């Protein structure tokens, strides 16, 4: 099986043949169940649609609301998500190398280098057009613009307003984008789906407040693609519904994800997608990730009477956008709501927004609020700089510090 994944021709052919998706679906039905099955099926279906080209494939950055793409009848394809996937299956080094040999600096975000490598290797589905948002990440928009040049397809940039009082500017751009594409959007159907999924997601977030922790942060972050891409799809509703059902059942049965759990942690930013020992190390010390910043429902339910406003608001409301104190207050609220003992922030190499802010958040939370905070510098997809021993020691020391703070009970 591993050899097949390493065979470029096989992968490229498989991605473009309908039969491979049918086989993948059979495996998903056979091997997975509940919310995991829904997540697999969603990803298989969306990938298939992106490659078979019956609908416009819209490449976009992860902060463009998926509801916008579904409303215009498109298939969202987020190369940043694809980069995480190839890292998971051990193909990232090859694609990173490919991008670097094509003059991509290795201090640029590895997610974007990896996505570029995938494109250069010919693995990606051809886009019909590309939409990027300007907020949170300078790299994503530039990298997507570069890709639009390679494929010679239209590139749209949504310049995201920084303050709420600038929302009209973003609304106008979303309207202009839709006018330019020339498709009448079906907001009603898509928004209804998004809001249904939202309700179940809200329930999930409520259930995750319970102790012991019944849904691991590691798994939640492995499924982050559902956060980025599933809102507005049918499968999104099913996924969050089944996830809520599973968590309810686990709570009823008092089925924590580890025995004798002692510490609840909050995770900021994403996690490395290659094989690593971070979460195992934490589990050994009886610590689990109880919640993640990326699992917040930071937006309001979408209003069908104000579709452009709702989409713009969802973008502006992102937890990493806007003033530092807002992000800090959100985190403090999460710490309170999820009974958090300590915070782990992951500083992604090359990510100027997250890497730059993590030190400030640490200062605010640790120095001013006396909350144990560990800032891990690492890479989400490039395992070449992963130093297991060193990280293991830091994680162990961090949990011991929390233990001391709690009185070593």
Partner 1 sequence: MSKATLKINCSYIPSEIITAAGYQLNRVWPNNIGSKGRDLLPTNYCPYSRAFLSEIIDEKDKLILANSCDAMRRVYDIKNNISYLLQVPRKINKTNINFYKEKLIEIQNLLLKNKDKQLKNEISQNKLLEKEVMEFNETRELMKKLRDEILINDKASFSILVNVLKNNYYKKDKEKIKKAIKKIKNYSKIKNNDYYPKVIISSSCLLDKSLIKKVEKSGMEVVALDSCLGERTFDFEVDKNYDNIMENLASSYLNKKLCPRMMDLNKRLAEIKDLVFNRNADGLIYFIPKFCDQSSYDFKFIKEWAQKNNFPILKLEGEYNAGQKGQLTTRIEAFKESLKIAVNNEV
Q: What angle do CA 38, 43, 46 make, to 5 degrees?
A: 120
| 143 sits near partner 1 (criterion: CB under 8 A) | yes
Pure H helices in 262-351: 278-284, 307-316, 324-337
| 159 sits near partner 1 (criterion: CB under 8 A) | yes
C-beta separation of 28 from 37 below 8 A: yes
Burial bucket for residue 129 (CB in 10 Å: 0-12, 13-18, 19+): buried
| 161 sits near partner 1 (criterion: CB under 8 A) | yes
What span, in angstroms and rounded, lies between the C-alpha atoms of 286 and 305? 48
| 406 sits near partner 1 (criterion: CB under 8 A) | no
**DSSP class of 367:** I
| 207 sits near partner 1 (criterion: CB under 8 A) | no
CB of 120 to partner 1, least distance (A): 12
| 396 sits near partner 1 (criterion: CB under 8 A) | no
CB of 360 to partner 1, least distance (A): 6
CB of 105 to partner 1, least distance (A): 5
The first and second tokens of residue 219, run together, are: 């798994």
Looking at residues 270 to 329 of the shown chain, list those that interact with partner 1 (rule: CB under 8 A): 323-324
What span, in angstroms and rounded, lies between the C-alpha atoms of 283 and 268? 18
**261: CB partners within 8 A, 6+ apart:** 211, 212, 213, 286, 287, 288
Nearest CA among 69, 74, 62 for reference residue 228: 62
Nearest CA among 260, 263, 222 for reference residue 243: 222
Report the residue number, 206 or 323, with the smaller CB distance to partner 1: 323
Report the residue number, 48 or 113, with the smaller CB distance to partner 1: 113
| 110 sits near partner 1 (criterion: CB under 8 A) | no
**273: CB partners within 8 A, 6+ apart:** 84, 85, 87, 88, 222, 380, 381
User: Which of 29, 53, 162, 180 touches partner 1 (CB under 8 A)?
Assistant: 162
User: Which of 29, 31, 172, 384 touches partner 1 (CB under 8 A)?
Assistant: 172
| 62 sits near partner 1 (criterion: CB under 8 A) | no
The first and second tokens of residue 58, run together, are: 């819209």
For partner 1, what does the binding mask look like between residues 329 and 368, x meaning CB under 8 A? ------------------x-xx-xx-xxx-xx--x-----
Please choose, out of 43-51, 136-144, 220-228, 233-241, the segment that lies near partner 1 by the rule CB under 8 A.
136-144
Burial bucket for residue 13 (CB in 10 Å: 0-12, 13-18, 19+): exposed
User: Which of 5, 73, 145, 261 touches partner 1 (CB under 8 A)?
Assistant: 145
CB of 103 to partner 1, least distance (A): 5
User: Which of 37, 98, 141, 269 touches partner 1 (CB under 8 A)?
Assistant: 141
**324: CB partners within 8 A, 6+ apart:** 357, 360, 361, 364
Report the residue number, 8 or 363, with the smaller CB distance to partner 1: 363
Report the residue number, 241 or 328, with the smaller CB distance to partner 1: 328
CB of 108 to partner 1, least distance (A): 6
CB of 172 to partner 1, least distance (A): 6
CB environment 137-150: b (16+ within 10 A), e (fewer): bebbbebbeebbee
φ, ψ (nearest 5 deg) of residue 223? -100, 20
| 173 sits near partner 1 (criterion: CB under 8 A) | yes
CB of 130 to partner 1, least distance (A): 12
Which residues of this protein are in contact with partner 1, per CB under 8 A? 103-105, 107-109, 134, 136-139, 141-143, 145-146, 149, 157, 159, 161-162, 166, 169, 172-173, 176, 323-324, 347, 349-350, 352-353, 355-357, 359-360, 363
């Amino acid at each position: 099986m591993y050899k097949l994944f390493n065979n470029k021709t096989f992968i490229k052919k498989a991605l473009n043949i309908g039969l491979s998706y049918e086989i993948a679906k059979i495996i998903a039905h056979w091997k997975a169940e509940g919310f995991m099955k829904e997540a697999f099926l969603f990803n298989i279906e969306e990938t298939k649609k992106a490659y078979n080209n019956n609908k416009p494939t819209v490449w976009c950055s992860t902060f463009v609301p998926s509801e916008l793409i579904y409303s215009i009848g498109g298939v969202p394809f987020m190369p940043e998500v694809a980069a995480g996937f190839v890292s998971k299956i051990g193909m990232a080094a090859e694609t990173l190398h490919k991008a670097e040999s094509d003059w991509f600096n290795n201090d640029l975000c590895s997610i974007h280098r990896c996505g570029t490598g995938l494109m250069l290797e010919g693995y990606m589905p051809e886009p019909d057009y590309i939409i990027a948002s300007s907020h949170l990440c300078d790299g994503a928009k530039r990298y997507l613009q570069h890709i639009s040049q390679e494929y010679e397809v239209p590139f749209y940039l949504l310049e995201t307003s920084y303050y709420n009082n600038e929302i009209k500017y973003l609304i106008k751009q979303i309207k202009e984008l839709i006018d330019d594409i020339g498709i009448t959007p079906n907001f009603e159907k898509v928004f209804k789906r998004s809001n249904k999924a939202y309700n179940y997601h809200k329930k999930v977030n409520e259930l995750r407040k319970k102790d012991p922790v019944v849904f691991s942060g590691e798994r939640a972050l492995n499924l982050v693609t559902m956060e980025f891409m599933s809102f507005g799809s049918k499968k999104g509703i099913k996924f969050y519904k089944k996830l809520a059902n599973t968590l309810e059942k686990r709570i009823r049965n008092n089925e924590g994800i580890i025995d004798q759990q002692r510490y609840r942690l909050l995770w900021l930013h994403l996690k490395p997608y290659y094989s690593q020992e971070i979460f195992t190390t934490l589990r050994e010390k009886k610590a689990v990730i109880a919640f993640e910043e990326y699992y917040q429902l930071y937006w309001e339910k979408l209003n069908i009477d104000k579709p452009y406003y709702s989409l713009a608001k969802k973008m502006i409301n992102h937890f990493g956008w806007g003033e530092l104190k807002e992000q800090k207050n959100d985190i403090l609220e999460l710490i309170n709501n999820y009974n958090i003992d300590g915070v782990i922030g992951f500083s992604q190499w090359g990510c100027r927004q997250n890497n730059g802010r993590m030190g400030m958040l640490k200062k605010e939370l640790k120095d001013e609020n006396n909350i144990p905070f560990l800032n891990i510098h690492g890479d989400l997809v490039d395992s070449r700089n992963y130093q297991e021993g060193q990280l293991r020691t830091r994680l162990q020391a961090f949990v011991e510090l929390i233990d001391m703070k709690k009185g070593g009970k």
